[in-house]
């Protein structure tokens, strides 16, 4: 009886220890008697004692492989150090297990050779400005090459591109010269715009001054015309009133004498008295004597 209990206990322990629970984003590759049997997904599974084993536990998550810098030579014979980052994901656990012995080492070597081939067709300037093109080409080549291994390459990124120190110094000098050139151009453009604005300001000011002077002259001419018109109107009104009053010859002659007296009060040094004025003067004396 005790032996039976011991046997049952041992069987129970074996059964319990052969139970496997597969977690999310995991896959178990199962072998039976050394040959591939199946691939377990998420859930609880039972492993047959003594004849089945878990050959490999595969992660189905996207993984990142950061490889150290690799020396590459460009088309114009410049040696650079470039390190790459590969983002990949296992899509077939069976191929990943049996397709290649060491998948990570294989991906690293494949990315290094692919990078050398691509960079070897480009010059230094193209390498520095064509990262997207290089990334796309590498991803396509790596994805096709790793497909028999059950691996899908999602992205490839060039992490760093390090040219030789002499070339870096030359590039820095070139960039500094380019910045100074742009600064000089911007300064010249600013001075040009400033001169243009100043000239336009002076032009507008001159136009405004000319318009103001023109308006002043127009207003002065209008004022003089108005004054002259007023005088002419007053003279016409006076003549009209005189004509309406029908003055005698004596009054007219007396008015002429007054006008002559006003002229004599001016700055003239010589006055020529017409003979008619002499008659007017005699007439004026007669009028005054009669009044007395």
Q: Apex CA 201: angle with CA 200 and CA 207, to 5°?
A: 90
**Strand 151-162, strand 79-90: pairing:** antiparallel
pLDDT confidence bin for 270, thresholds 50/70/90: low
- Does residue 205 register a pLDDT over 50? yes
The average pLDDT across 148-159 equals 91
CATH number for the region 62-163 comes to 3.30.479.30
**Look-up of token digits 């004509």:** 243
What pLDDT, on a 0 to 100 scale, did the predictor assign at position 94?
A: 93
Q: pTM score, two decimals?
A: 0.57
- Does residue 68 register a pLDDT over 80? yes
The average pLDDT across 36-65 equals 90
The average pLDDT across 135-162 equals 91
What pLDDT, on a 0 to 100 scale, did the predictor assign at position 292?
A: 47
Tell me how far apart the alpha carbons of residues 134 and 115 are, in angstroms, rounded to a whole number: 8
The average pLDDT across 216-244 equals 79
pLDDT per residue over 19-40, tens digit each?
888 899 999 999 999 899 999 9
What are the residues whose beta carbons fall under 8 Å from the beta carbon of 65, sequence distance 6 or more?
85, 86, 87, 88, 104, 107, 108
Tell me how far apart the alpha carbons of residues 287 and 252 are, in angstroms, rounded to a whole number: 14
pLDDT per residue over 75-114, tens digit each?
888 888 888 999 999 999 999 999 888 888 999 999 999 9
- Side-chain half-sphere CA neighbours of 141 within 13 A: 18
Map out the domains of the chain as residue ranges: 2-59, 62-163, 247-263+274-292
Mean pLDDT of the chain: 81
pLDDT per residue over 275-287, tens digit each?
555 555 555 455 4
The average pLDDT across 158-175 equals 79
Among the listed residues 37, 49, 29, the one whose alpha carbon sits nearest the alpha carbon of residue 90: 29
What pLDDT, on a 0 to 100 scale, did the predictor assign at position 255?
A: 59
Which ranges constitute the DSSP H helices of 120-164? Answer: 124-129, 131-146
What pLDDT, on a 0 to 100 scale, did the predictor assign at position 287?
A: 42
């Amino acid at each position: 009886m005790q032996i039976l209990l011991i046997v049952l206990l041992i069987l129970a322990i074996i059964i319990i220890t052969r139970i496997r629970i597969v977690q999310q984003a995991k896959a178990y590759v199962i072998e039976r008697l050394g040959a591939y049997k199946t691939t377990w997904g998420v859930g609880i599974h039972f492993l047959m004692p003594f004849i089945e084993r878990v050959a490999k536990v595969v992660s189905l998550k996207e993984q990142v492989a950061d490889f150290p810098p690799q020396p590459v030579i460009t088309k114009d014979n410049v040696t650079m150090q470039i390190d790459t980052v590969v983002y990949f994901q296992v899509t077939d656990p069976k191929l990943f297990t049996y397709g290649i012995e060491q998948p990570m080492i294989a991906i690293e070597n494949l990315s290094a050779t692919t990078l050398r081939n691509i960079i070897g067709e480009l010059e230094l300037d193209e390498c520095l400005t064509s990262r997207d093109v290089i990334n796309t080409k590498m991803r396509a080549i790596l994805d096709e090459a790793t497909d028999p291994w059950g691996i899908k390459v999602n992205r490839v990124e060039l992490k760093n591109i390090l040219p030789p120190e002499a070339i870096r110094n030359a590039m820095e000098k070139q960039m500094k010269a380019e910045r100074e050139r742009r600064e000089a151009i911007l300064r010249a453009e600013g001075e040009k715009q400033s001169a243009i604005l100043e000239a336009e300001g002076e032009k507008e000011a001159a136009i405004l001054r000319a318009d103001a002077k023109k308006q002043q002259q127009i207003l002065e001419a209008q004022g003089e015309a108005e004054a002259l018109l007023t005088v002419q109107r007053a003279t016409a009104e006076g003549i009209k009133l005189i004509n309406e009053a029908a003055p005698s010859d004596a009054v007219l002659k007396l008015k002429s004498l007054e006008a002559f007296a006003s002229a004599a009060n001016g700055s003239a040094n010589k006055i020529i008295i017409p003979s008619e004025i002499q008659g007017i003067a005699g007439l004026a004396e007669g009028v005054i004597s009669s009044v007395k």
